[in-house]
């Protein structure tokens, strides 16, 4: 219903903000990740998800579309509601969530308050093929930013675009990066991965 809200930041709390838009204050639930990103901005834009349940209508807001997409992925899992999704994004940033899912790191996800072993395993199982995909359907693998990971991500996105299976592409790239120096060029990495895939 609401794609985003853009207005004056009337009130800020670690769990919610009030955005004044034309004299109307919208209360929006946020994660600690978003809280830290909006800092002391006077005017903000939050990408929103409008959640309706029997006894409440709640707006959830995110500093960027990546965090919103991660939240939507999380709440698509049975047993993970919006409050739990927000808790995950308050404990881990979207890149850390994706990294934990891609590397099947149950312990990291389970460390979030309110998530047990079974739910953590379900999140990994159901989201492994979905994480990193943007709204347009392209792959945006969110790993911590470093030159090696940036090259890895770009190579992975290119290989998936070329029709290579994502899991096979990841395996090939990781093997090549382990065997070669970290300053391998993107083109060279893609060529070697294409030969190996």
How many structural domains compose the chain?
3
Based on the domain organization, do 81 and 57 belong to the same domain?
no
User: Is there a domain that residue 141 lies in?
Assistant: no
**What is the C-alpha to C-alpha distance for residues 159 and 173, in angstroms, rounded to an integer?**
10
- Does residue 33 sit in the same domain as residue 74? no
Is 26 or 133 the better-scoring residue by pLDDT?
Answer: 26
pLDDT tens digits, 19-51? 999 999 999 999 999 998 997 789 999 999 999
Helices H / strands E in the chain, number of each? 9, 5
Do residues 69 and 122 both lie within one domain? yes
CATH of residue 94's domain is 1.10.150.20
Strands 43-53 and 56-62: antiparallel
Residues 77, 52 share a domain: no
| pLDDT of 117 over the 70 cut | yes
Q: Given a cut of 70, is residue 138 above it in pLDDT?
A: no
Domain boundary among 62, 93, 108: 62
> Is 134 among the domain residues?
no
- Cβ atoms of 39 and 53 within 8 Å: the answer is no
Q: Say if residue 56 is in the same domain as residue 70.
A: no
- Whether residue 17 is contained in a domain is answered as yes
Domain final residue pick, 62, 94, 112? 62
Q: What is the pTM of this model?
A: 0.66
Q: Name residue 47's beta-bridge partners.
A: 4, 62
Average pLDDT over residues 117-130: 90
Are 41 and 75 contained in the same domain?
A: no
Indicate if 53 and 90 belong to the same structural domain: no
Strands 4-12 and 56-62: unpaired
pLDDT at 149: 64
Position 147 pLDDT exceeds 60: no
Domain range spanning residue 34?
4-62
């Amino acid at each position: 219903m609401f794609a985003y809200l853009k207005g004056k930041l009337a009130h800020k709390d670690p769990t919610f903000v009030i955005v004044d838009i034309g004299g109307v204050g919208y209360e929006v639930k946020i994660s600690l990740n978003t809280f830290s990103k909006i800092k002391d901005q006077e005017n903000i834009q939050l990408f929103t998800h409008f959640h309706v349940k029997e006894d409440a209508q709640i707006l959830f807001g995110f500093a960027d579309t990546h965090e919103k997409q991660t939240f939507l992925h999380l709440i698509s899992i049975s047993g993970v509601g919006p409050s739990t999704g927000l808790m995950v994004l308050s404990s881990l940033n979207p890149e850390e969530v994706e990294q934990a899912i891609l590397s099947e790191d149950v312990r990291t996800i389970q460390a979030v308050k309110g998530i047990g072993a079974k739910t953590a395993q379900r999140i990994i199982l159901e989201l492994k093929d979905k994480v990193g995909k943007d709204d347009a359907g392209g792959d945006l693998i969110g790993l911590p930013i470093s030159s090696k990971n940036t090259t890895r991500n770009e190579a992975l996105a290119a290989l998936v675009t070329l029709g290579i299976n994502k899991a096979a592409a990841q395996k090939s790239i990781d093997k090549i990066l382990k065997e070669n120096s970290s300053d391998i060029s993107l083109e060279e990495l893609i060529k070697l991965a294409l030969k190996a895939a």
